[in-house]
Amino acid sequence: MNKPSIADCVRENLQSYLRDLDGETPHGMYDMLMRVVEKPLLEVVMEHTGHNQSRAAEWLGLNRNTLRKKLMEHQLLR
């Protein structure tokens, strides 16, 4: 059995989220999704890079200063 892709997982969870709204109009979905995806992404990448910010920034395709700012925003600096 194939593992679902990240896109499949996101799609399934968004479908569930919209069903759970039960007809209510969602607001700010884009920003909400970016916030809930960004923190675990940063956590996992930092863990797999041994908390090496330079390497993590390279993996993510970000400037190291941008990564540092995002880590501060999510209170993930050690």
Between the alpha carbon of residue 33 and those of residues 13, 29, 37, 65, the distances in Å are: 11, 6, 6, 23
| DSSP assigned state of 1 | -
Write the pLDDT tens digit of every residue in 18-73.
999 999 999 999 999 998 999 999 999 999 999 999 999 999 999 999 999 999 99
3-state percent helix, strand, coil for the chain, nearest multiple of 5: 70, 0, 30
Residue 67 buriedness (CB in 10 A; 0-12 / 13-18 / 19+)? buried
Q: pTM for the whole thing?
A: 0.81
